[in-house]
Amino acid sequence: MQKLIKINIVKYLIFLVLILIISNGMAQVIPYGDNAKAGKYVQSEDAKIYYEVYGKGEPLLLLHGGYYGYISEFEMYLPELINNFKVIAVATRGHGKSEIGKQKMSYALFAEDALKVLKQEGIEEVSVLGFSDGGIAGTVLTAIYPAKVKKIVCMGAGFNSGHYKAKALQEIWEMDAQFEANNLPQFLEDRKKIMPEPERFSEWIEMLKYAWMEPEVLSNEAISGIDCPVLLILGDRDNYIRLEAAIEMYNLMPNSQLCILPNSEHVDLIFNATLLKNTIIPFLTK
């Protein structure tokens, strides 16, 4: 199982390295996720939540994936998104520059953190683009506060334990900080540099597991109650979510569309320029 974990992580980190190489070749590098010019904070109960704002126009809430994920994972998407929207990119608590807090982690808590950001920005209605954990939190936000969300793009997300592949649940449960210390020391060092509480990294992972292992984040009744336009996106080879689960969610949501990407794994979704230009942006701007 450790071998499977390492394979998935290495693929994601290769993607991050490629982004860094591409960015370094540009005339101007924007440090997404650590940008003093665009960064802001909001107090959300017991934690300061970091976020960045870019662009003008209709607001778009951008929610990244969990654990290894961060605002910077959307680096391939952000230039195009900024050209079309006012992008509010939120760092989930404990990720990057956001504080961890002391509360039990849950997707409902992450949704409330995002809501605090929207309130501070004076945004009454927003479209949402979320990947993995961000897709789950964004959908929870939509279910709890339907008047807040105009449309949502939910990528690579499941809402109860039955939506996940059995091996994926085991992999998630076995994650710990020692793996990063032994196998990904540079990742761990770089991430800790921007964390306000780096000494709590190990504790934070264990806290995150409470959110990851929630048996039911949203009930079928709650899912079917989401009536705004929804675009569900999943790779047919997703490492975590069952293909049948995406179809089940599509059938439950009354105003949903389903996009299955061929020959695509979990992280492939966030560096697919064709998907962004031909599917996501047209859905959001239609």
- 234: its two tokens: 């999943």
**Which of 238, 230, 232 minimizes the C-alpha distance to 268?**
238
Contact 157, 132 (CB under 8 A): yes
List, in sequence order, every beta strand (DSSP E) within the chain: 39-44, 47-54, 59-63, 86-90, 126-131, 149-155, 230-235, 256-261
In one-letter notation, the amino acid at residue 176 is: D
Residue 175 to residue 172: CA distance in whole angstroms: 6
Distances (CA, A) of 108 to 80, 115, 136, 224, 256: 29, 10, 9, 17, 22
- pLDDT number for residue 2: 45
CB-facing half-sphere around the CA of 244: CA atoms within 13 A: 4
Tokens standing for 255?
């105003």
Whether residue 220 contacts residue 49, with contact meaning beta carbons closer than 8 Å, is answered with no
Closest CA to 196 of 99, 131, 115, 67: 99
2-285: CATH number: 3.40.50.1820
| Token digits of residue 183 | 């196998």
Rg (CA), the chain: 17
Query: What would you measure as the largest C-alpha separation in the chain, in angstroms?
Result: 50
**pLDDT of the residue at 169:** 82
Burial 80-91 (b: 16+ CB within 10 A, else e): ebbebbbbbbbb
For the full predicted model, state whether its pTM sits above 0.75.
yes
pLDDT at residue 17 in the model: 46
Reading the chain (286 residues) residue by residue, the pLDDT tens digits are 444 445 555 555 554 544 444 444 443 589 999 999 999 999 999 999 999 999 999 999 999 999 999 999 999 999 999 999 999 999 999 999 999 999 999 999 999 999 999 999 999 999 999 999 999 999 999 999 999 999 999 999 999 989 999 888 888 888 888 888 888 898 889 999 999 999 999 999 999 999 998 999 999 999 999 999 999 999 999 999 999 999 999 999 999 999 999 999 999 999 999 999 999 999 999 8
Q: Residue 187: what pLDDT?
A: 86
